[in-house]
Structure 1
């Protein structure tokens, strides 16, 4: 614009032009600023929403349901105690965990500032003030029948675990109604804690494993919708019992377990780039796809529920596919026990052709992803937990410390 224009022009026309120019410039500033702010909001919307929920939820308790991936002593208490070297790496003694140390559920408790969960079935030295663990090794989502039980799976399937929780809650509330005492208040959750607690589920692997033993892969796939339906009914039942915050793991790459590679040795056309049984992993992926779809549906059906779906498959598969880069040895190796020609569980003894075989541990468990051919090592569980607890593998992408909030709500 000519800076001398105002000097040369006089009268009403000049005044009008200057007014128009001033208004136009003001409009330019306002519109430009609005566009700039809108672009900024567009670029950072997801981050803003995540920041809105970055605060700690202060869960007063955790109630866990699952199988050996999260069993902190249930099966060991119900049957015979797991022997050393199980537990030795972290606890210095057997801890009821099918691992040399901590499980992912232990790292969840640590992240939330809570003590490790006691197994509901463990009557020795237990404390349920901050929750309880109903998981037992060998558990399935499907109710156990004679066929499944004879295959060696746990009688404490998910429906039984729900019955146990329902009784635990009812009797705990009864105790508080009968009269408070220092023992009750220090040993059991407060009645209000049940609706504020985090409910974690990590189960389904044994349903697939049992299917591979007794059915064709096509039959296992055909059975998946029914299994997912039963899992969804479990979530609904917990919701009816007052649960609101759920942290739900999908199932891991079962075809990558050393057990699977040894007992179902993949032919070249059925081996993926990481040396895993490709078809078994494809079944697991389909199971997970259906599970995620159902969790999304449940989120719409249960208006007050906060359901977080956790892609633990991706975390575990990344660890296996990048094992050497991450400091681990052969991803299909294992540290404790014997598989293959003769089976001796970790820490056990057996006579094989007149010779006593001991399921001893390797010298450095931290080098192994698999502890005993089926379960993950302490070092692997720690790495996996670090991948999932920050929310990077969750849907919605909320860290576990914010899993009491719905994305988009304060």
Structure 2
């Protein structure tokens, strides 16, 4: 039924209430209290482990904080106008009315029994698990609120910080000499304990919950000293130990997924991940940029001059023989396993204002506002719809008028046709240019939104009114000149960078819409998928034999180019004088400038799990491989790219609040398929190519018998394999990834949310 064109009647007060509900203040509301749970990263005095110089910078005395001054939890309290949290074991009664800190130094997520059953009970310093801490909180509750409804109101206006947890669960096993395989097996159990703890708090009325991840423990001076290696491959490009950072990333990836599931389950809450890992990794990668002239991998307090990291287990901070640096603000690490106040301040800023907590603590109201007592009639509905901002409308499932896709072989539907059958065998029965046995993620997205499969932009006599695909196999993000200046242009297969693809889109625009307003309306109801980009920018130098250090220098430029293919209309392509890709400041932004409001920007797949990489760069050193058999250095590169990309997208979303710019996660689901192939129906495994040289080595890859070439063969059931041809995935794998983007948890918000 058509809505009436006559404006409905609504009182000013009613309109005000509607607007108040729809547009909560962008400033943080006042929290009544903060309740904190965790370990030494947030303990403010429950465990007094050492004297001065702990506490020297801010308090002038030791307080139980494992730093020279304040912790992240202190800066949060200050920012929201509350006093520093008292330790729960030191203050009684009503003094907890504005919050309490239940965190204990050396606390674990898991209970004592878990470790005792594994012969590790004697390695625990304290018996203060997450479950125990929440139990202490529950004992405090009667002194804070008198009834269930009173508690729900009070806790609904409080902030809960649950963590960091996990570090000590893993340290306990690592320091006891257990294998990394055993330690990694703890991760899902730890994540489950955190999830259950959060659910328990939600049951008591908590609605605003921050759940921090782990720091990059492979960058801790203590780890670098205790587990130093003569094998340079054990270290990342910035000098951290790979296997411990891999553990932290594994933990953080599963934690993010669990938090997303909790948020969907408890829609009236705000449960969000707080990132310790990426800011701390940024400090380690470029300490001078953040003012850490003393470096990131040396302890300020410890055994100065003792080895590369100022750490000696016999002269730890505050013990005889130890010393403290002249200016702790110039160091990232305080005592080798905790950070300085200066580092915690920077991390706190990222949580309070973004981009390291999403949404940031100060970004909006402390909790979802309840619906005011309004009775909107059908006559009032049109005005309500008129008042709704674009972002709110986008939170509902909608029909897109069109989809426009940009990318490389992960999304090319026919602009570059490089091979015949068996490519396309499963769904199309013929080769279409898709680098798989059937459909790609972009195809499943089109089907799910009720649109036809996207025609390649080069198709003749084709209507593009419902979308077009500009993706080209082997496309790079950066332009030809970037590679030419590095003597790498001979390794490019096509000249079809992101900038050029957007240029082709701009050439097509006049045939799609006329006036600017018409284009804004049309493109505003279209979906833009910008990527995957980056893979070919990195494979070009890798296949040319360049060092991983050089490849890493490409990442910020590639990410900046992607993040900006989304605002400006004109760009300088290259400056040989500054040796910088200035194209990077203009790409992603061009699309928004034309009217795009709904964009998905995918990250990279874990290329270290690709059968082609595993064949070409095989090594006899087991430490070069992750626990699931992938090459660490290539997956580290991918993780670095994805981390920078997510941070860039978050900044774009802040800059353009009326758009919906979200990350499409290829990495995490693909890692899961490799780690647990049978769980997802991939009985053929995660690391063998379906189409290639069957029986040729461990991975069915032989460069002289690649898929569709002479001497190659194809598996009998591609649906049982993750990898199609050693570089690209099967239709079955793409279908699962697409489902994660469409419905969650691998795009946030999901496309059809």
**TM-score, normalised relative to structure 2:** 0.43
The answer to whether residue 654 in structure 2 is matched with residue 300 in structure 1 is yes
Residue 347 of structure 1: aligned partner: 708
Spell out, residue by residue over 1:101-129, the C-alpha distance to the aligned partner (whole angstroms, 9 max, x if none): 110111111221211111102226x3322
Residue 313 of structure 1 is aligned with which of 658, 661, 667?
667
Residue 381 of structure 1, aligned match among 734, 745, 748: 734
Corresponding position of 2:269: 45
CA distance in 1, matches of 2:591, 2:549: 31
Q: 1:293 to 1:28 in 2, by over 3 A?
A: closer
Q: How far 1:52 moved relative to its partner?
A: 8.8
Gap runs ≥5 in structure 1:
1-26, 178-188, 350-356, 403-410
Choose the corresponding residue for 2:688, options 298, 312, 333: 333
**1:27-53 CA distance string (max 9 Å, x none):** 989857845987275563249979996
Q: CA deviation at 1:191?
A: 7.3
Evaluate the alpha carbon distance shift between residue 152 and residue 336 of structure 1 in structure 2; reply closer, same or farther with a 3 A threshold: farther
Counterpart secondary structure, 1:74: coil
Q: Is the 8 A contact 2:464 2:512 kept in 1?
A: no
For residues 257-268 of structure 1, what are the structure 2 equivalents within 5 Å?
257-266=610-619, 267-268=621-622
Give deviations 1:287-322, integer Å, cap 9, x for gaps.
111111111111122243211112221011111111
Partners of 1:83 and 1:348 within 8 A in 2: no
Asked if structure 2 preserves the Cα contact closer than 8 Å seen for 1:315 and 1:388, the reply is no
Which of 1 and 2 has higher RCO (CA within 8 Å, sep 6+)?
1
- Which residue in the other structure is 2:750 paired with? 399
Question: Residue 155 of structure 1 aligns with which residue?
Answer: 495
Distance 2:512 2:394 in 1: 31
Say yes or no: does 1:141 pair with 2:492.
Answer: no
Report deviation, 1:223: 1.7
Give the Å deviation of 1:67.
0.5
Question: Deviation per CA, 1:160-192, whole angstroms, max 9, x where unpaired?
Answer: 101001111123335x99xxxxxxxxxxx9873
- C-alpha separation in 1, matches of 2:520 and 2:659: 19
Distance, in Å, in 1 between the alignment partners of 2:650 and 2:659 is 11
> Which shifted more, 330-339 or 317-326?
330-339
Going from structure 1 to structure 2, the CA distance change for 1:326 and 1:165 (only over 3 Å counts) comes to: same
Partner of 1:205: 535
CA distance 1:142–1:37, change in 2 (3 Å):
closer
Partner of 1:323: 677
> 1:342, CA displacement in angstroms?
4.1
Q: What is the alpha-carbon distance in structure 2 between the residues aligned to residue 341 and residue 32 of structure 1?
A: 65
Other-structure match for 2:524: 195
Distance 1:341 1:229 in 2: 35
Match of residue 66 from structure 1? 407
Matches within 5 A, 1:362-373: 362-373=715-726
Cα-to-partner distance string for 1:39-74 (whole Å, 9 max, x where unaligned)? 275563249979996631211111111000011111
- Alignment check: 8 A CA contact 1:54 1:399 kept: no
**Change in CA separation of 1:41 and 1:222 when aligned onto 2, cut-off 3 Å:** closer
Alignment coverage as a number of residue pairs: 349
Distance change >3 Å, CA 36–CA 141, structure 1 → 2: closer
Following the alignment from structure 1 to structure 2, what is the Cα–Cα distance between the partners of residues 135 and 46? 37
Partner of 1:184: none
Compared CA separation, residues 37 and 253, structure 1 to 2 (3 A): closer
Over 3 Å counting, the alpha-carbon distance change for 1:318 and 1:141 in structure 2 is: same
Q: Deviations over 1:236-286 (max 9, x none)?
A: 111112111111111110110001000011431210011111010001101
After superposition, the Cα gap between the structure-2 partners of 1:317 and 1:51, relative to the gap in structure 1 and judged at 3 Å, is farther
Is the contact between residue 552 and residue 637 of structure 2 (CA under 8 Å) also seen in structure 1? yes
SS in 2 for 1:286: helix
Question: Are 1:113 and 2:442 an aligned pair?
Answer: no
